[in-house]
Structure 1
Amino acid sequence: MASTTETLLAALRSALADRDTVSIRGTLIGVLGRAPSKTEISAASKTARKIAEDGDAVLISLLPDQAGPDAYVAAGRGGQSRASNYLTVDTNIVKALPCRVELATEEWDAVIDEGLRLTQQRIESDPMLSAFLPGWKAVPRAEKRARLAEQAATT
């Protein structure tokens, strides 16, 4: 008998093979056939992180209207305005929302950096956004990673 982690891993990989963007919680509900417990949600999140760490997808936090037709909408009041974690291989979503990326490997850096560059251009070309986000600068992921490694080495 397969463990829960193995079952979740297989279910998430299978869902990613069928769709570009997959709700972690929605997939978990599909596997269990019921509302998951906090422990099961935690296990599913760890499994999704494993997939993202392997570079097979990007772990990203999205609102239901950003995730497309198969979006998970939390039950209860305010469900439409609550973000949920997804795995995606859709480069358009990653480019459009680079600041929502939770976990991605170096192989996704070029896509994320392109999204950050496009976001920077949008902010600079819109006076209202520029006023709302003064001094916002896109920092390429490779630069950020090198700076963090340097800081870790000095401490």
Structure 2
Amino acid sequence: MTTNTKYSAGDLVLIVWPKQRAAEVHSGDSTWEDVSHGSWAMDAHKADAVSILVAVHEGVVVGAWRVTGANHSLAAPAGKTRNVNRSTFDLSDDPRLAYLVGGPSPAPAQRNPQTTRQLRDLPGADTLLDPSPATHGVVQLGGYTLTVNSDGTALLRLPGGAALAISEG
């Protein structure tokens, strides 16, 4: 599958913590995508600027998708008088975002179950922004993920049960 979406450094990434609906996923009744796409309380203009949605559960990224659209609903919550916009997102798989899944949350957990960041602040964003060969970034091969930071430090994540042999170069 070819993905032609070009991301920009200033694109918004919506990070969500759908913990209230996690039981649906664990029981097999829903997927992380189902429980993550909406309905999130946020300004409609801000929601329209979101390009990527990242779902986090218990400090680990459980899904990352390209946002292809946003739908808005303005209504007063039960027992309240002030209208609140709620946005639901249309999502699409983007294989370039797979490196995020299984990694740590790109933002600390907070009381509000969603936050936004600019794409440039997302770990490994270099690989989404610049297709030229890089001196640092993220490489994913099967279940293996290698992250090399600009300071030269590296992190290798292995699939469960995998063996690692290290040899000097």
User: Normalising by the residue count of structure 2, what TM-score does the alignment of the two structures yield?
Assistant: 0.28
Higher strand content, 1 or 2: 2
User: Normalising by the residue count of structure 1, what TM-score does the alignment of the two structures yield?
Assistant: 0.30
Higher helix content, 1 or 2: 1
